[in-house]
Structure 1
Amino acid sequence: MVEESFLIGAMRLEEYMRVLVGMSGGIDSSVAALLLKEAGHEVVGVTMSIWSKGNPFSGELKKNACFGPNEEEDIAEARRVSGMLGIEYHVLDCAKQYEQIVIEDFKSEYMAGRTPNPCVWCNSLIKFGALPKIARESGIEFDAFATGHYAQVGKNGDRWNLMRAKDLRKDQTYFLYRLTQKQLSEVMFPLGKATKEEARRLCIEHGFFTEDKDESQDFYSGDYSDLLQTEPKMGNIVDKKGTVLGQHEGYWKYTIGQRRGLKISSERPLYVIRLDAQENEVVVGHEEDTFGDALIAENLNWIAVESLDTSIEVQAKIRSTGSPKAALVETREDGTVSVRFAEPQKAVTPGQSVVFYQDDVVLGGGVIR
């Protein structure tokens, strides 16, 4: 049996449910299915197929990526674990929706000189959107949807809240901030109160995987150029004054804060500080030039509040691997918000997300403009 402490507050134990579990063939989703079954729910495993055989792919294959030609291996693992658990299992084709939403956004953002976060859009629109919808359209009945994300969900008054996981090192709320009230009302996060070490131990104890099992980390298992499908376009690498320091083959191959790969000799290290798609330029500066104390965010999604009509003090997170930092958020007339940090932050990157927290509660977030 699974430890009771894993289950308290992680799922609705007061009633029996038929729960659809998104299974990736990895440790976390496998343990999520296990915990739900041990809690007495009827569990149905499902994997979304997002790779089309006609997709371009070149170069060395990276393991442990969500999107790539090695998808069949992940499906085989998810099917095997489902068999060990004795649960119903399905594979649903979500490739068309994934390409139309996630890949097209990925392409347009990079070509506009921004750095997108495809996992954010995949979660809100595909994994928690298209997948459950396609499952119901396929005749699969279920009462709730669950994944192996490290996050928690609760309710405050009439609003569902997204909250950080017990294991803050693995917390994945940054990637989930675009979930809607309806999605949160139907979701379960069985690993919300577990640690990664506990999940891995359970996986090994139940014979799902061996100790050397890796976890998925990357978005794509090939080179991003495969997805962008664009020819090299020579341009200049310039400093803040416009002085040409070198050349590049495509501004979309760079990101804000990048230091390596510039191939420019300099007495002090140079960093990418801006991408100019219109001029086809990569602008570089020194480390102090990578810091900024403010940003504007658009395309907002609020969770803990219906909307924001005043300024509010928050902890703001501008990248998944960073920690939340003190900031003041203020609304603007055009529907965006300004975010001013108490201390300058390094590599504020257009296209990435900024997520707002108060304690462990996710207020909402938006895309950095």
Structure 2
Amino acid sequence: MSGGVDSAVAAARMIDAGHDVVGVHLALSQSAATLRESARGCCTIEDAGDARRVADQLGIPFYVWDMASRFSRDVVDDFRAEYAAGRTPNPCLRCNEKIKFAALLDKALALGFDAVATGHYAQVVETTAPGGGVVRELHRAVDPAKDQSYVLGVLDAEQLARSFFPLGDTTKPQIREEAAARGFYVAKKPDSHDICFIADGDTRGWLTRELGEAPGEIVDTTGEVVGRHRGAFAYTVGQRRGLALSRPAPDGQPRYVVEVRPESNQVVVGTADLLGVNAITGEHARWCGPAPEGVAEVGAQVRAHGEEYPARAWAQDGRVEVRLEGRVRGVAPGQSVVLYEGTRVIGSATITAARLERSDAAAPVG
């Protein structure tokens, strides 16, 4: 229970469904602020108090579990290291993989609980396997504006079997109405945004404080110096704003970050046409069920609230290869590609490379 409206209604719905529910708030910050800053951040002392108030209204036990050290190691340190290496990570996926559906779920099972329920907007659909038995599948939420299946694409089949998402069949306005009808104080509480451990939303400032300033060159694709930066880690592929180039492009066209080179501390800029890619290689594959066999026709999504693109995907030599039907701009190493079959999540992989391939450099036959 984060202290927000979503987890409050999720807990209430689990009780209504007949489950024996215990509320757990995760203390993830080693120096939680007393009050939140507008709608940014989460897991503050104020949030813990809001969660406890809802638990009291529901008449359920409530605990605060301290996972700050684990969160710092598995999420914050990973985030810092990925940016230092020139990659663009998604900390919400890592938190779901390492904290909410690993550390939290493992502790819950060890204490005798059966499953973890959260306020994520996604659906679990139970189907019958060909050989009998029930299979739990992860699907998109009915509310596309709030769908969080992308950040849950790191769940494997065992974790999915122990997970409940009671809000997936409801829109956010309906959830707020339900919370108000139940008398929850948090019914109108604003959603948290951005990265929870960067409460002011200034990712570049946070990285600079953590990694220190490292001045270097901004160059074009010919190697000509066109600007200076204070740290290559603060840039990501596809970025246009904040480049402060001292030398405009000869043709006057806007320029974007097309590559970050941490080894030389250079940021490379180029025109928009250089951003389009149709081939993605991923590692650290996580399958929400059986891995696809051969070449699978899929939908591929590379951002949390981004568009889904028609593609083909297959596993090869421990990697996941994805070939998009068209070009996609701004795909950066470190992001995750999540694969779908209709509304069902197949799995995910961390992007290690993205490139433009000619049409005849296609997927293997199969």
**Same-fold call, TM > 0.5?**
yes
Q: Deviations over 1:307-328 (max 9, x none)?
A: 3341111110011111211011
Q: Displacement, 1:62?
A: 5.8
1:76 counterpart SS class:
helix
Whole-angstrom distance in 2 between the partners of 1:107 and 1:143: 34
- Paired position in structure 2 for 1:324: 308
Whole-angstrom distance in 2 between the partners of 1:210 and 1:132: 25
Q: Deviations over 1:226-251 (max 9, x none)?
A: 46621101110111111100000001
CA contact (8 A) 2:5 2:186 kept: no
- Give the counterpart of 2:9 among 27, 31, 35: 31
Whole-angstrom distance in 1 between the partners of 2:288 and 2:342: 14
- Aligned runs of 1:60-209 on 2, under 5 Å? 61=37, 63-66=39-42, 71-135=44-108, 139=111, 141-156=112-127, 157=129, 159-209=135-185
- Paired position in structure 2 for 1:335: 318
Q: CA RMSD in A?
A: 2.0
Q: Displacement, 1:200?
A: 1.0
TM-score, structure 1 as length reference? 0.86
Give % identity: 41
CA contact (8 A) 2:160 2:288 kept: no
Matched, 1:232 2:213: yes
Could you tell me which amino acid in structure 2 is paired with residue 216 of structure 1?
Answer: S
Whole-angstrom distance in 2 between the partners of 1:211 and 1:82: 14
Q: Displacement, 1:42?
A: 2.2
2:22 counterpart SS class:
strand
2:211 counterpart SS class:
coil
- Paired position in structure 1 for 2:357: none
Q: Which runs of 4+ in 1 moved over 4 A?
A: none
Whole-angstrom distance in 2 between the partners of 1:39 and 1:329: 38
User: Which consecutive unaligned segments of at least 5 residues does structure 1 have?
Assistant: 1-22
Q: Deviations over 1:150-187 (max 9, x none)?
A: 11113441643211111122111100111122211111
Whole-angstrom distance in 2 between the partners of 1:101 and 1:356: 24
Matched, 1:251 2:232: yes
CA contact (8 A) 1:273 1:284 kept: yes
- Give the counterpart of 2:28 among 39, 43, 50: 50
1:109 counterpart SS class:
helix
2:47 counterpart SS class:
helix
CA contact (8 A) 1:304 1:361 kept: no
Whole-angstrom distance in 2 between the partners of 1:331 and 1:203: 44
